[in-house]
Structure 1
Amino acid sequence: MFVRIVKLSFHEENIPAFLENFESVKEKIRSAPGNRFLELYQDKNNKSIFFTYSYWETEDDLENYRKSELFTSVWSFTKKLFNDKPEAWSVDKLASLE
């Protein structure tokens, strides 16, 4: 399993549209084969910056999601709202304390 972190930066006036769309698709994203966890964060100091954290069983699962109709629909809507290029990282979790 690995973690996918995506940084998204929006024009301030587009934040409500992004949040509304995320609310409508989050369960579908979370239900994608191989997805084990999904969270959305908002930066405390810059309210225009968001991060998604998702856990995936395999890289193939993430790639299959990225090739899916769901991703195509979500991404085509979301990318119109950006004020900066998104950034993404795939990372292995080395430690987790709760």
Structure 2
Amino acid sequence: MNIHVVAVFKFNENYLMEAVEHFQTLVRETRKEEGCLQYDLIEDKNNKGTFFMVELWETEDHLNRHSGQDHLLNFRKDVSKMLESSIEVYKGFKTL
């Protein structure tokens, strides 16, 4: 069963250009992963510095493998000082 994920990132405005560079690497590498069906970065049009990562994975096992990938771990480490608040992650299954 496919699993959907939305992750919300809120960055300090001083770090936006640097954050986007880190996102570019993360998106490029994640899209190569087995089981990744969608991995899109969306910038909130009304809240500067707020981004949504919209993900779709073939299975929860694929998502779990993603969680241990070096490119994701490096991303988290590299952007931790740039965030205004903790990353919020929502996971679920399609109901309709």
TM-score, normalised with respect to structure 1 = 0.88
Give RMSD over aligned pairs.
1.2
Distance 1:90 1:2 in 2: 7
Aligned AA (2:28): E
TM-score, normalised with respect to structure 2 = 0.90
Is 1:14–2:15 an aligned residue pair? yes
Runs of 4+ in structure 1 off by over 3 angstroms are none
Cα distance, 1:2 vs structure 2: 1.4
Structure 2 spans left out of the alignment, 5+ residues: none
Aligned AA (1:71): L
Spell out the pairing of 1:14-53 with structure 2 (5 A cutoff): 14-53=15-54
**Percentage identity across aligned positions?**
24
Secondary structure of 2:95's counterpart equals coil
Distance 1:67 1:24 in 2: 16
Aligned residue pair count: 95
Cα distance, 1:35 vs structure 2: 0.7
